[in-house]
Amino acid sequence: MKTKDWNDWYLFATVAQLGSFTRAAERLDVPKSSVSVAVARLEKRLGQRLLERSTRRLRLTEAGTQLLREIGPLFEQLEDVADGMTAQGDEPRGLLRIAAPYEFGMQQLGDVVCDLLARYPQLEVEVDVIARQVDPLAEGYDVTFAITAEALPDSGRIAKRVFTVERGLFASPALVRRLGLPAGVSGLSDWPLIAAMTESSWGFQTPGGERRIVNLNPRLRTPNAGLRLQAVIAGLGASMIANSFCEAEVRAGRLLRLLPEHTPDPLKIYGFMPARRLTPAKTRVFMDALEAWLGPR
C-alpha cells in the first residue's frame, strides 16, 4: 500500500505560520531551497497557489489560508505527541530560541542559560535582544519575554507571569537641588521626566493606600534602562527604574530616590509561548529553571 508523503504539507504549514521561507528553514534545519521547492511542489500537486511571494513579504492566498486552517492544528498535535514522548524518556535537546529585552536578558537569563547548557549537552540556545513585544509563533521563537507595568493585552498565546520587579523614582542630587523635592505625585507634572517607550503614565500607591497617577510627557523615551539611568545621573530628568539596577548609584551618592514613602507599580515580566497542548521539554525545563532561579514572587 502506498502511503502519502506529508513532508511538503508540513513545510508549507511551517512557512505559513512563520511568514518566511528563511525562518522556516532555520526552524526545521533544512536548506531554504528545499523549503521553497517543497511548497512549489505542493502547489503544483493541488493546482492552486498557496502563497503570494514578493521581495518584502509572504501573503497567504485564500486557498493557502483555508489549507493552513485545516492542517495547522493537525501538525501541532503531532508535535505535541512527539514532544510528550521525548519528555518521557529523553533529556531536553535541540535549539531553544529566546527573545528578551536587553535588561532582562543581561541581568536575569544569563545564569539560567549557562546552567542549562552545562546540565544538558544536547541542548542549544539562542537569545535575541529585542525592544518590542513579538509573537513567538510568527517569528519562530520558543519563548519571548515582555516587561510591562500595565495590563497584559489579550492574546491567543500562552502567557505566564514570571517575575515582578520593584521600582523606584530616581533623580540626581543636582536636579533635586535645582528643583526641590516634588510635593507628592502631582508635583511631578513640573519635572523633566525620562520614560520607557511603552509607558504612558506612572502609578503609585500612597502611604494611605490611595492610588495616584502621573501622565507622562517625557524629555527622553528609550527601552534601554541603561540609557535612562545615564540620563538621570546626568541630571536630565527623573525616571522610574528597577531598584536593583540603581543600588550602586544610590550608595555612591549619584542618585536620590524621590517620594520614598510612595510605592510605584512594579514591572511585570511575562513569558509568551506558542499556544500548544503540551509544552516542549526544552521550553518547560527552561521556564522551570528560570522560576527557581528568580525565587518566590
Question: For residue 61, what is the domain's CATH number?
Answer: 1.10.10.10
Element (H, E) at 211: strand 211-215
Q: Point out the least confidently predicted range of 57-66, 126-135, 267-276.
A: 126-135
Do the beta carbons of residue 245 and residue 225 sit within 8 Å? Answer: yes
**How does DSSP assign 222-275, residue by residue?**
-S-HHHHHHHHHTTS-EEEEEHHHHHHHHHTTS-EEESTTSEEPPEEEEEEE--
What is the Cα–Cα distance from 90 to 133, expressed in whole angstroms? Answer: 32
pLDDT for position 155: 55
Q: Flag whether pLDDT at 98 surpasses 70.
A: yes
User: Do the domain assignments include residue 281?
Assistant: yes
Average pLDDT over every residue of 179-201: 90
84: exposed, middle or buried (Cβ count in 10 Å: 0-12, 13-18, 19+):
middle
Q: Are strands 123-130 and 94-101 parallel, antiparallel or unpaired?
A: parallel
Q: Could you tell me if 171 and 253 lie in one domain?
A: yes
In a domain, 140, yes or no: yes
Instruction: Please give the tally of structural domains in the chain.
Output: 3
Domain harbouring 117, CATH code? 3.40.190.10
Residues 75 and 206 in one domain: no
Question: Is the same domain home to 290 and 145?
Answer: yes
**pLDDT, mean over the chain:** 83
Q: For the whole model, what pTM was predicted?
A: 0.61
Higher-confidence position of 89 and 232: 232
Same domain, 188 and 254: yes
The predicted pLDDT at position 147 comes to: 79
Indicate which CATH number applies to the domain containing 248: 3.40.190.290
Residue 2 lies in a domain: no
**In terms of domains, do 55 and 14 share one?**
yes
**Model confidence pLDDT, tens digit, residues 208-249:** 889 999 999 999 998 888 899 999 999 999 999 988 889 899
Same domain, 205 and 130: no
Tell me the pLDDT band of 21, cut-offs 50, 70 and 90: confident
Least confident interval from 88-97, 115-124, 258-267, 284-293: 88-97
Is residue 193 very low, low, confident or very high in pLDDT (cuts 50, 70, 90)? very high
State residue 191 phi and psi, 5-degree precision.
-100, 145
Q: Which of 41, 63, 81 is the last residue of a domain?
A: 81
pLDDT for 27 equals 78
- On whether residue 162 sits in a domain, the answer given is no
Q: What is the DSSP string of 217-229?
A: --SEE-S-HHHHH
> What pLDDT, on the 0 to 100 scale, is given for residue 213?
93
Q: Are residues 243 and 193 in the same domain?
A: yes
pLDDT of residue 156: 54
69/141 same-domain check = no
Task: State the pLDDT confidence band at 110, using cuts at 50, 70 and 90.
Answer: confident
Q: Is position 25 within any domain?
A: yes
* Residue 63 sits in the same domain as residue 103: no
143, part of any domain: yes
Say whether both 96 and 174 belong to one domain: no
Residues 76 and 110 occupy one common structural domain? no
pLDDT of 138 higher than 70: no
Residue 134 shares a structural domain with residue 74: no
**pLDDT (average), residues 51-62:** 81
86, part of any domain:
no
Over range 117-132, report the average pLDDT: 86
**Grid coordinates given for 54:** 514578493
Average pLDDT score over residue span 132-140 = 62
148 is a domain residue = yes
pLDDT given for residue 250 in this prediction = 95
Give the domain extent around 131. Answer: 91-156+273-294
CB 168 within 8 A of CB 246: yes
Among the three residues 36, 59, 81, which one is the final residue of a domain in this structure? 81
What is the per-residue pLDDT for 1? Answer: 46
Model pLDDT, residue 297: 44
Of 81, 109, 127, the domain-final residue: 81
Task: Output the pLDDT for position 225.
Answer: 84
pLDDT band at 105 (very low <50, low <70, confident <90, very high): confident
* Helix pair 32-46, 21-28: axis angle to 10 deg: 110
Q: State the pLDDT confidence band at 139, using cuts at 50, 70 and 90.
A: low
What is the rounded average pLDDT of the residues 64-93?
74
Radius of gyration in angstroms for the set of CA atoms belonging to the chain, rounded to a whole number: 24
